[in-house]
Amino acid sequence: MSSLFAIEVPKWGLSMEEGTLSRWLIQEGDSFKAHQELCEIETSKIANALEAPSDGVLCRIIAQPGVTLPVGGLLGVGAQGEVSAADIEAFIASRGGAPSAAATPAPSTAAAPVKASAPEPQAKASQAVAAPVATPAPQSTATQIPATLQGQTDETQVQATPHALRMARELGIDLAKVTGQGRNGRISQKDVEQAIVAQGGRLAAPQLATPNRQPLRSTEDDSRLEATPLARRLAKQWGINLHDCRATGARGRICQADVEAAQRTYQPATSTVAAATAQPTAIPQADFEVQPLSGMRRAIAQRLQESKRNAPHYRLSLDLDLENLMALRQEINASIPQVKVSINDLLIKACAQALIRVPEVNVQYDEASQSIRRYSDADISVAVALPGGLITPIVRAANQKSIAQISTEMHHLATKAKAGTLKPEEFQGGTFSISNLGMLGIRQFDAIINPPQAAILAIGSSEQRVVALDGQMVIRQQVTVSLSCDHRVIDGALGATFLRELKRLVQTPVLMLV
């Protein structure tokens, strides 16, 4: 008897629609036990491991790491018993996808599915199946749940894998009474099975927890274990958790030899990816230089193209009188050595306050779920120009921060941006953006919205202008700002209300201090 089954993207939550495969935890041809972790999948909310639905052999990998598939999308094919390559192809075809098309995630791994029709994987698969895997033991005893575990699980209070939750529901187990050994104490089905056995219960034979052939690998935080610097480095390189190493060094430290021993135990098969891409022959042409797009350039191109295409932009412009803001700045800078406030810092603060007062502008547009996310804090993304690109570090909760805090934070963020040391959380997200080209002498410009945000303020240069005030020509320090809004979520009157509030704050800056 042989059968094939799909390994597919699970649905881990009501809102989950797709998942991105981060990495496979086993190789093609490896056999696995039920509930063994097969691969890691990330959604926009969580990263989690996919457990095997039953015992079997991974006879075909369809999706490569980095690929995003909808829920139910085919990641790979599992087998029980002898299967042929043709069977596998037929199975994949029955799932509605030509195998080669389904498995072309990234150009570098495009060569992989071509091998599928060759006889070699078949041999590999059947050989692996012959290993002591798919021999279901006769069902001799029924499952018995010890009283200590019985109960109802409050699913909002425990962290558990979907399999563990289902098992708990089916068997009437309160998972709060089970100790999880997964990442961050997450309870897996295996933990439940072990708890049942440990507390005197019995499991139906197929579910009996059996040790994996592969030694279990720890996922605990090992940063506090004592290890020599060399051992720590090797462990990191080889992906070995120090909890999996013996500590034979002096004073109980894990040393190089211990990590090497662990490495020998696991012997992860090294996969070689042959990426032979044909180089097109260059035809001599007129004078130009080919510059491949940098990662940053690509991200800018992709995101802003998407924004310009999808978000119906409209713009509102306004002149702000800066006399009072300049006076405030002058006074702050002259009196406190620790602080140097720029006009830009003050405008960040003013925008943050205006966003709190007009919260309908402090939003992100979630196109997929057709909803608006309204934020309680103003996280202001500030565009910083770099050689060959730009990045938008974020002043988080600028509404809650003092002007001095904003100034110091912005000073460091800008330097980190230039040194390329910003951490993802320092530039990903944000509820509103500011772009300032004033220092380059630009009087006024329109900016493209930074999705999924819904508005961006473009700031021109601060300059002396002759303006009419009470029937007199006077010279005032002024700046022109333009607000670009996504009309899908911010209507014209709303954008104008925000700008009016901003103007009030900038021209009466004392309002920002109270």
Partner 1 sequence: MNDYDVLVIGSGPGGYVAAIRAAQLGLKTAVVEKQHLGGICLNWGCIPTKALLKGAEIAHTLTHLDQFGFSVENPQFKVERLVQHSRDVSAKLTGGIAYLLNKNGVEVIRGRARVLDKGVVSVLEEETESVFKAAHIILATGARPRNLPGVQADGQRIWNYFDALVPKAVPSSLLVIGSGAIGMEFTSLYQDLGSQVTLVELNNRIMPVEDAEVAALVHKSFERRGIQIHTQTAVTAVDTQNPQHLVCTLRQANGQETQVSVDRVLIAAGVQPNIEDLGLEALGVELETGFIKTDAWGQTNVFGLYAIGDVAGAPCLAHKASHEGVLCVEKLAGVDSAHALDYDYIPGCTYTRPQVASLGLTEEQALARGYQVKVGRFQYQANGKALAMGDSEGFVKTLFDAATGALLGAHMVGPEVTEQIQGFGIAHTLEATDEFLQQVVFAHPTLSEAMHEAILASSGRALHH
Please count the residues of this chain forming the interface with partner 1, following the rule CB under 8 A: 23
**What's the distance, CA 191 to chain centroid?**
28
Whether the bond into 452 is cis, omega within 30 of 0: yes
- Binding status of residue 421 toward partner 1 by CB under 8 A: yes
Among 142, 419, 510, 514, binds partner 1 (CB under 8 A): 419
Q: Which of 243, 313, 412, 487 is catalytic?
A: 487
Indicate the Cα dihedral angle 318, 321, 344, 313, nearest 10°. 0
Binding window for partner 1 (CB under 8 A); candidates: 405-413, 466-474, 480-488, 492-500? 405-413
State the amino acid at position 371 in one-letter form.
S
Among 126, 263, 399, 407, binds partner 1 (CB under 8 A): 407
Catalytic residue list contains 411: no
CB of 409 or CB of 486, closer to partner 1 = 409
Q: Using H for helix, E for strand and C for coil, what is the string for 170-190? A: HHCECHHHCCCCCHHHCECHH
Question: Taking CB under 8 A as the rule, which mask of x and - marks residues 321-350 in contact with partner 1?
Answer: ------------x---xxxx----------
Listed in sequence order, the DSSP H helices in 358-484 are: 403-419, 424-427
**Angstrom distances, CA of residue 186 to CA of 8, 234, 371:** 21, 27, 31
Instruction: Determine phi and psi for 340, rounding to 5 degrees.
Output: -135, 105
Q: Name, in order, each residue with C-beta under 8 angstroms of 213's C-beta and a sequence gap of 6 or more.
A: none
- Strands of 302-449 (E only): list them: 313-321, 363-366, 371-374, 380-382, 384-386, 389-391, 394-395, 432-436
DSSP 513: G
Among 1, 14, 142, 250, binds partner 1 (CB under 8 A): 250
d(CA 87, CA 73): 19
State the amino acid at position 279 in one-letter form.
Q
Residue written as token pair 């993802």: 424
Site for partner 1 in 294-323 (CB under 8 A): none
Among 47, 216, 439, 474, binds partner 1 (CB under 8 A): 439
Minimal distance, residue 386 CB to partner 1, in Å: 9
Minimal distance, residue 413 CB to partner 1, in Å: 8
d(CA 58, CA 398): 50
Buried b (16+ CB within 10 A) or exposed e, 220-242: bebeebebbeebbebbeeeebeb
Q: Name, in order, each residue with C-beta under 8 angstroms of 113's C-beta and a sequence gap of 6 or more.
A: 62, 99, 100, 102, 103, 104
CB of 215 or CB of 252, closer to partner 1 = 252
Minimal distance, residue 471 CB to partner 1, in Å: 37
Binding window for partner 1 (CB under 8 A); candidates: 130-138, 265-273, 414-422, 491-499? 414-422
- Binding status of residue 50 toward partner 1 by CB under 8 A: no
Question: Taking CB under 8 A as the rule, which mask of x and - marks residues 169-208 in contact with partner 1?
Answer: ----------------------------------------
CB of 378 or CB of 382, closer to partner 1 = 382
Binding window for partner 1 (CB under 8 A); candidates: 78-86, 413-421, 470-478, 492-500? 413-421
CB of 248 or CB of 310, closer to partner 1 = 248
CB of 25 or CB of 404, closer to partner 1 = 404
Angle CA 383–388–393, to nearest 5: 25
Minimal distance, residue 439 CB to partner 1, in Å: 4
Minimal distance, residue 415 CB to partner 1, in Å: 6
CB of 217 or CB of 418, closer to partner 1 = 418
Q: What number of residues does the chain have? A: 514
- Binding status of residue 412 toward partner 1 by CB under 8 A: yes
Binding window for partner 1 (CB under 8 A); candidates: 37-45, 102-110, 347-355, 411-419? 411-419
Minimal distance, residue 339 CB to partner 1, in Å: 6
- Binding status of residue 405 toward partner 1 by CB under 8 A: no
The tokens of 490 are what? 């911010």
Minimal distance, residue 418 CB to partner 1, in Å: 6
Give the active site residues: 487
| Residues at the contact surface with partner 1, assessed by CB under 8 A | 228-229, 250-251, 333, 337-340, 407-408, 411-412, 414-416, 418-422, 439-440
